[in-house]
């Protein structure tokens, strides 16, 4: 039998902003408004977190939106993003961790973007196809 989450750990409400760029999670002891970009780049999916190693950097997500919220049992939700990403399951415990680590993880994300010459802007992370053509010598 699966363990039932502690009632205090289960959100009382999830509110998607009208513009779909933020999700507010309301717990009995407070609430946190998460930007869709933060939730996307810190997704608990294998695409982002790999299989236990260094997180993958996902740039160009400043304007990403949460298109849908799908319940997964009594312990999580799946967020479907406007870029098609939908493989991360956001457990209640995971949302609490995203809240507790928000400032540190966001700062680390921005540092890693800069270190890799990437941007939060979508267009800045696109390689033009003509860059793949061989150079004339």
Give tens-digit pLDDT for 106-118: 999 999 999 989 9
Cβ–Cβ under 8 Å, residues 66 and 18: no
Tell me whether residue 93 is in a domain. yes
Mean pLDDT, residues 59-76 = 95
Tell me whether residue 2 is in a domain. no
Q: Measured between alpha carbons, how far is residue 54 from residues 42, 44, 58, 109 in Å?
A: 12, 13, 12, 12
The better pLDDT of the pair 5, 60 is held by: 60
Classify residue 82 by its DSSP letter.
T
Tell me whether residue 133 is in a domain. no
The better pLDDT of the pair 135, 94 is held by: 94
Tell me whether residue 86 is in a domain. yes
CATH code for the domain of 57:
3.30.2020.30
- Give the lowest-confidence range in 29-38, 81-90, 121-130: 121-130
Cross-strand partners of 26: 13, 31
Mean pLDDT, residues 61-67 = 96
User: Which pLDDT belongs to residue 48?
Assistant: 77
Has residue 3 got a pLDDT over 50?
no
User: Which pLDDT belongs to residue 131?
Assistant: 47
- Listed in sequence order, the residues at least 6 apart from 16 whose beta carbon sits closer than 8 Å to its beta carbon are 22, 23, 66, 69
Q: Which domain holds residue 30?
A: 9-118
Has residue 132 got a pLDDT over 80?
no
Taking the CA atoms of residue 59, residue 65, residue 71 and residue 77 in that order, the dihedral angle to the nearest 10 degrees is: 30
Tell me whether residue 73 is in a domain. yes
Within 10 angstroms of residue 95's Cβ, the number of other Cβ atoms is: 22
Q: pLDDT > 70: what percent of the chain?
A: 80
Q: Quote the number of domains for the chain.
A: 1
Tell me whether residue 91 is in a domain. yes
Q: pLDDT > 90: what percent of the chain?
A: 65
Mean pLDDT, residues 35-42 = 95
Cβ–Cβ under 8 Å, residues 60 and 122: yes
Tell me whether residue 16 is in a domain. yes
**Range from 1-10, 50-59, 65-74 that averages highest in pLDDT:** 65-74
């Amino acid at each position: 039998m699966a363990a039932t989450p502690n009632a205090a750990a289960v959100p009382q409400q999830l509110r998607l902003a009208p513009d779909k760029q933020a999700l507010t999670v309301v717990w009995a002891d407070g609430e946190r408004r998460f930007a869709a970009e933060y939730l996307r780049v810190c997704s608990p999916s294998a695409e982002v977190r790999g299989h236990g190693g260094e997180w993958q950097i996902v740039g160009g997500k400043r304007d990403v939106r949460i298109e849908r919220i799908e319940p997964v049992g009594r312990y999580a939700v799946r967020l479907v993003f406007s870029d098609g990403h939908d493989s991360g399951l956001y457990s209640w415990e995971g949302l609490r961790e995203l809240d507790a680590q928000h400032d540190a993880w966001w700062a680390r994300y921005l540092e890693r973007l800069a270190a890799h010459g990437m941007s939060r802007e979508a267009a800045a992370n696109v390689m033009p196809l003509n860059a793949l053509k061989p150079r004339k010598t």
